[in-house]
Amino acid sequence: MQGTTKRLSVWLAGAAVLGSGVLTVLPDNAAQAAVAAKTKGRAVAAQAGATTPFTTVEAESGTLAGGALVRSIKPGDPAPTKATLESEASGYALAELKATGHAISVKNSSGKSANSLVVRAAIPDTASGGGLDATLNLYVNGSFRQAITLSSKQAWNYRNATTNPDDPNAGGEAYHFYNEFPVRVTGAAIPANATVTLKKDAANTAAFYAVDSIDLEQVGAAVARPANSLSVVDYGADPGFTTDSTVAIQNTVNAARTQGKTVWIPAGKYLTNSLVGSKPLDFTGVTVRGAGMWHSTLYRKVPLPATQRSQVLVGSGTKLSDLQIDTNAVWRGIGGAGGADYGINASGAGGWLVERLWTRHTDANWLSGSNGVIRDSRTADTYGDGYNINNSNTPNPDKLGYNITVQNNFARGTGDDSFAVYADAGASGTNGQLSDAKVIGNTAVATWWANGLRIAGGRNIQMTNNLVNSVSSNSALDIGVFGDSGHPLESATVTGNVLLGGGGWNGTRHGVRISSPSATSKFPNAYTNVTLTDNVLRGALRSGLYIDRKNVNVTLTSNTIDAPAAHGIWVTTGVTGTGTFTGTTITNLRPGQSATKNDSPTTFTISATAARR
């Protein structure tokens, strides 16, 4: 992805110049969010977040009209105890349009024209579940341009519902309110600095529209067909989304594998129901290219409730690029009744490469094997993790989870950790330890379930220069293990990340949490070993950094913890281990809160104390 990053909102209010120890707000057309932490008189600068081809403008930063309101969680407000429209919005804020005439206007601050938008918004569910469709009108510089169709059919799930996760009348608790809606702008592109207005007119019949953000993008022409390629259309695939293309696409891949050629997926929308033999598409060993993530789409429209698998297998030697994968899934469950399944399922000892892939309404992009890379990609509105590096819960040598890199990707609205490293020993303890995972320069926005970033076990894990903006249920970053079968975290470095918010409604959560194996795990005496350097933790809904369970060795160097709602650093009772805190500053504490609160003073030794200022 090339271009600009997301515009940060309420949690950056009051940020000063580079070098002050707080986050610098850059213009909308800046390449990345910049961070500085002062250490021993020198400014340590880092770049955080993905470089993207779009600019995001938060709705709450715009101009309201007709009685529209901004709803938000403000710094210092009580932490939410359940999912809300505010807690699931980026920046924890949204513009609400409820009555005819309500409108929100923003500027096209991308510095260039935009022929495409992505509107992130929520509208109500139906009384019986299942969702509804409703339009919202788009104006450019005050002139009506087109009606945008929004939907709640792939939103509004109900946690712990006794029937199914889409049933609002089964005792569950509502969450997962938002969806993203890609829009190709009718007529001329929206000029730079033009005013873009979303307005509820009489024809727009939803009871409310919660508008979170608008992405503005100038999408280029479709990519040309590569040389020495086989077109899926020539093998019978239907770009018009009428007949199923699964078999035709797989036949093209098989032929290309035999002939040593590239597979070409021209512009179009291809129905992939996976009805023949319930087998996923298998791209192992083949280069597969689309015409661009806005141009070529594989769409899984499986009959619901679903009974078959529908995913894309990436294996040794696969090169996959310039494609969108979307689905009709309505709730989580790999291969289950709700229709969800992995976006891609990657494995193989020989390495693989995925670039410029947009996955929507899938479960995780499941990333195993060795020497794999996924970069410059996007995922949104998922029912599971955005990107999950793992050892695939198996001792299989094709699924080791060794030296996998996730770099410059953008995840928004994920239904589990946006970016995760996951090492599971398995029930028998025979799965190998995951190692050398790298999560570099990615952006996680508005994670609706679990954490923005997560390290769950492994060896030599690197999590560097990532941006997390607003997590609804859990922490911005969680460091530790996965359940009782998780491998210990032998070593990890967390450097140059910007972590905004975190500490949501799912129990007692914090900006960053560091923990260790429990007493009932396979490794009850193992330590979590992690070093955090040059990170910014800002605006946590509870404590900035929270350490719990018994065995933790943590080194903090040159971090900034700014404006947490509770303590800067809190070590809870029963923790054993060491903390080396050097050059870390804690700023803007609220009355009655401590910079460092150690409730395990006899068992957790802090060799230096973070400074308050």
pLDDT digits (tens, 9 = 90+) for 371-388: 999 999 999 999 999 999
- pLDDT at 277 (0 to 100): 58
457 — alpha (psi -120 to 50), left (phi > 0) or beta?
Answer: left
pLDDT of residue 26: 28
Task: Give the 3-state secondary structure of residue 259.
Answer: helix
Residue 18 DSSP label:
T
Q: Please name the residues in contact with 201: beta carbons below 8 A apart, sequence gap of 6 or more.
A: 100, 101, 137
pLDDT bin (cut points 50, 70, 90) of residue 74 is: confident
Distance CA 94, CA 586 (A): 29
Mean pLDDT on 68-96: 95
Strand ranges across the sheet with 545-547: 281-282, 312-314, 344-346, 365-367, 387-390, 419-422, 453-456, 477-480, 512-514, 545-547, 569-571, 596-598
At residue 76 the predicted structure's pLDDT band, cuts being 50, 70 and 90, is confident
Q: In angstroms, rounded to a whole number, what is the distance separating the alpha carbons of residues 249 and 163?
A: 36
DSSP 356-389: EEEEES-S-EEE-SBSEEEES-EEES-SS-SEEE
Tell me the β-bridge partners of 374: 354, 406
Q: Where are the domains of the chain?
A: 55-217, 226-343, 364-613
CATH number of 364-613: 3.40.50.720, 2.60.200.20, 2.60.40.1250, 2.160.20.10? 2.160.20.10
Residue with more model confidence, 20 or 344: 344
User: For 245-320, where are the alpha helices, taking DSSP H only?
Assistant: 246-259
613 falls in which pLDDT band (50, 70, 90)? low
CA 190/CA 56 separation, integer angstroms = 14
55-217 falls under which CATH superfamily?
Galactose-binding domain-like (2.60.120.260)
- State the pLDDT at residue 303: 85
- End-to-end, the C-alpha distance of the chain in Å comes to 39
Q: What is the CB neighbour count within 10 angstroms for residue 507?
A: 8
